[in-house]
Amino acid sequence: MTDVNAQSPSQASTRSHPNPQLNKLRLPDTIESANPYYKVMRWGLRLLMPLFWKARVFGRHNEPSEGGVVFISNHQSFLDPMLVGFALSRPLNYMARNTLFDTPGLKQLMTSLNAFPVKRGTADTGALKEAMRRIKRGGQVLVFAEGTRTRDRRIAPFLPGVALLAQRAAKWIVPVVIDGAFEAWPRTQPLPGLGNIVVSFGQPIPQEEARKFKAAPLVEHVRQIMIKMQTDVRRRVGRPELTY
C-alpha cells in the first residue's frame, strides 16, 4: 500500500502515516477491534490493491482515533468498499445489498467482514437503525451517499438519510473520495480491469458542526467538500478536472 500526502505527481513517493494513536499492533481496549478473518482479508488487500490497481492513499491520518464515525464516499465501482476499508486501522462496517445475504456461504462471508443488509431502492429503516446502532457503540460505517455507482465519474446528489446518521449517531463525519475506480471497473463492465486508483480521506467534521445544519444543507455541504477533494486529487495525479 502506498500512502502519500503528495501535492503533485512528482512528489508521489512522499510518505505519510496513519493517525499516530492508531499506528499500533494492538489498539486500545476502548476501540472496536477487527475479527481475525477481517484482519487477514485487510492484509491481503494491502498486497493486492497496489499490485493490480496501483492504489495510493491520501489523508490516512484523518481517521479518528475514537468515537463513532460515518465515512461518506463517492461510488465509482464494486471495488469501492475494499478501497476505503483496506487503508484504515480501525475496522469498517458496510451496508451491502440484501440479496447477497440470500446465497449460502456468502452470508457468512459478508457477516465476517462486518457487512449488514440494506434493501436498495427503498427507505430501509431497518438498515438505517442498524447503522446507527453500530456507530453509537463506537464503530465506523461506510455510506455511499449517492445510492448507486456513478455513470460519468461525477459525484451525484446525496440521499437525505445520510444526515440522520451524521447528526444523531456519529461523533465524526469523514468525507472520502475515490478516483480511478470508474476506469478500472465501470458499471457497464462485468469484471474489473487493471487501473490506477487514488483514495483520499478528508478532514473529519465533528458532530457539533454537523448539527448546525439542517439535513439537506448538510449533505450538500459534505458533497461540495468532496467535489473540491476530487478536483484536488485529479490535479495531483495529472487528470483533467471534471465540470459540474
16 in any annotated domain: no
Q: Return the SS3 of 81.
A: helix
Note the pLDDT of residue 145: 93
| pTM: predicted TM-score of the whole model, two decimal places | 0.91
Residue 140 resides in a domain: yes
Does residue 243 lie in a domain region?
Answer: no
Give the C-alpha separation, 185 to 20, whole Å.
33
DSSP state of 240: P
Distance CA 10, CA 68 (A): 36
Torsion angle of C-alpha atoms 97, 200, 2, 89, degrees rounded to 10: -60
Query: So what's the pLDDT on residue 125?
Result: 87
CB of 71 closer than 8 Å to CB of 142? yes
Domain at 223, CATH number: 3.40.1130.10
Q: Give the integer Cα–Cα distance in Å for 62 and 201.
A: 6
Segments in the chain forming alpha helices (H)? 36-53, 80-85, 106-112, 125-136, 161-164, 181-184, 207-210, 215-236
Instruction: Tell me the C-alpha distance between 142 and 31, whole Å.
Output: 17
Model pLDDT, residue 158 = 95
Q: Determine the pLDDT at residue 124.
A: 80
176 within some domain: yes
Give domain status of residue 151, yes or no. yes
User: Side-chain half-sphere of 239: how many Cα atoms within 13 Å?
Assistant: 16
Residue 40 three-state SS: helix
> Residue 137 contacts by C-beta under 8 Å, 6 or more apart in sequence?
32, 68
Here the cell at position 147 is 445510492
In a domain, 24, yes or no: no
Is the distance from CB of 229 to CB of 175 less than 8 angstroms?
yes
Q: Given the C-alpha cell 505527481, which residue does it identify?
A: 9
Give a yes or no: residue 177 inside a domain.
yes
Look at residue 96 in the predicted model and tell me its pLDDT. 87
What's the pLDDT at 121?
A: 66
Tens of pLDDT along the chain (244 residues) come to: 554 443 333 333 334 588 988 987 777 777 888 999 999 999 999 999 999 999 999 999 999 999 999 999 999 999 999 999 999 999 999 998 898 899 888 999 999 999 999 887 666 889 999 999 999 999 999 999 998 999 999 999 998 888 999 999 999 999 999 999 999 999 999 999 999 999 999 999 999 999 999 999 999 999 999 999 999 999 999 999 999 9
Query: What secondary structure letter does DSSP report for 166?
Result: I
Domain that holds residue 204: 2-7+34-236
Please state the domain count of the chain: 1
| Domain annotation covers residue 134 | yes
